[in-house]
A = this chain, B = another copy of it.
Amino acid sequence: MASFRTVKGFRDLFPQECALRNHIAETWRAVARRYGFIEYEAPLIESTDLYKKKSGDEITAQLFCFEDKGGRDISLRPEVTPSLARMAAARQRDFKKPLKWFEMGSCFRYEEPQEGRTREFIQFNADILGDASPGADAELIALAVDVMLEFGLRKDDFLIRLSNREIWNQYLKEQGISEEHSAAFLQIVDKIERAKPEETAAKLEAIGLSLDHVRDFMRATDENHPAFAALRADLTARGLWEHVKIDASIVRGLAYYTGTVFEVFDLKHGLRAVAGGGRYDKLCALISDGAADMPAAGFAMGDVVLGILLSKTPSAQCRITDYLNAQHGVDAYVVIADEAQRAPALAAVQALRRAGARVDFSMAAQKVGKQFQAAENARARLALVFGAEYPQVIVKDLVSREQGEVPAGSLAAHVLAALQEPLRGPLIA
Chain A residues packing against B (C-beta within 8 Å):
1-8, 10-15, 18-19, 21-22, 33-36, 38-47, 49-50, 64, 66-70, 72, 74, 76, 83, 86-87, 89-91, 94, 96, 98, 100-101, 106, 108, 110, 120, 128, 131-133, 135-136, 138-139, 142, 146, 233-234, 236-240, 287-289, 291-292, 327-328, 330, 342-344, 346-347, 349-350, 353-354, 356-360, 362-365, 374, 377-378
A-B CB contact pairs (8 Å), 12 listed: A4-B288, A7-B45, A10-B43, A10-B45, A11-B43, A12-B87, A12-B90, A22-B39, A44-B120, A45-B108, A234-B342, A238-B346
A363 in complex: contacting residue of B43, B101, B139, CB < 8 Å: B139
For this chain, the copies found in one complex come to: 2
Instruction: Return chain B residues, CB-CB under 8 Å to A328.
Output: 38
Instruction: Return chain B residues, CB-CB under 8 Å to A292.
Output: 2
- A288:B3 contact, CB within 8 angstroms: yes
Q: Which 10 A-B pairs have the closest CB atoms?
A: A66-B66, A36-B360, A135-B363, A133-B364, A10-B43, A237-B343, A13-B41, A237-B346, A238-B350, A3-B289
Given contacts A2-B287, A120-B43, A363-B133, contact A35 B353 (CB under 8 A): yes
Instruction: Return chain B residues, CB-CB under 8 Å to A357.
Output: 34
In the complex, residue of chain B having the shortest beta-carbon distance to the beta carbon of A94: B14
Given contacts A39-B19, A128-B363, A353-B146, contact A238 B347 (CB under 8 A): yes
In the complex, residue of chain B having the shortest beta-carbon distance to the beta carbon of A149: B354
